[in-house]
Amino acid sequence: MIELYYAATPNGLKVRLFLEEAGLSYRIRPVSLSRGEQFEPQFQAIAPNNRIPAIVDHEPAGGGAPLALMESGAILWYLADKTGRFVPGDARGRAEVLQWLFWQMAGLGPMAGQAGYFRVYAPQPVPFAIERYTRETRRLYGVLDRQLAGREFIAGDYSVADMACYPWIVPHAGHGQALDSFPQLKRWFAALGRRPAVRRVYRGVEDVYARAGPAVAPAGASRTPRAAAGE
């Protein structure tokens, strides 16, 4: 059994997607980011970086004591390795999937996270930051759009690369992006959204930006910043 320390944010959702797709037995341990539960000592012992998601695998690959892991990319890769699912068996295929997983972790996630933060959550508008992160996020959406031209999925068959990227495209409006500008991405996004596991995971999940008010606050508006929705 796997315990998933979770909030319904893009990084949390991507791990849940894997667990649902693979049909693994798991239990959700909700972590309230707005109440600061990510800083509690019991959680910090599992996730030293004080961020969700984290897992504890009580039947780890290789046996032995329960394994605690943080970092959504590392968790996805571990689960893929353990189950032999959603990652190719050959060296070239694995390298390609890993490349796109790292791309999501180092590029799409951090940049889209900042775009969303400055467009939606920031207590006051910071035009330079809004412009910088929205532009970089647009570039990254374009990279994915080009990669998907002539391909059904990001790298070979449906893989952890797709699972890592999908939750970062769901809140595209909060990132200031229109999917009509990215036709291949739009097609992939719609196809993944029809997968039963994706539908199960997203049932009842609120857009991370839904309660934060209008994108790009008018001058002088003030909001209480919430925990960042992922970086």
Nearer to ligand GSH, 149 or 210 (CB): 210
Closest separation in Å from C-beta 1 to ligand GSH: 21
| Bridge partners (DSSP) listed for residue 3 | 27, 56
Q: CB 69: neighbour CB atoms within 10 A?
A: 20
Dist CA 116 CA 229 (whole Å): 8
Nearer to ligand GSH, 71 or 136 (CB): 71
Nearer to ligand GSH, 129 or 191 (CB): 129
The pair of three-digit structure tokens given for residue 25, joined into one six-digit string: 């037995």
Nearer to ligand GSH, 68 or 191 (CB): 68
Dist CA 159 CA 139 (whole Å): 23
Dist CA 155 CA 162 (whole Å): 8
**Residue closest to 159 by CA, chosen among 4, 22, 11:** 22
Q: Which residue has the tokens 């969700």?
A: 52
Closest separation in Å from C-beta 182 to ligand GSH: 23
Closest separation in Å from C-beta 63 to ligand GSH: 25
Residue sitting closest to ligand GSH (CB)? 230
67, 53 Cβ separation under 8 angstroms: no
Closest separation in Å from C-beta 89 to ligand GSH: 25
Give the interface with ligand GSH as residue ranges (CB under 6 A).
Answer: 9-12, 33, 38, 51-53, 71-73, 105, 227-231
Closest separation in Å from C-beta 188 to ligand GSH: 21
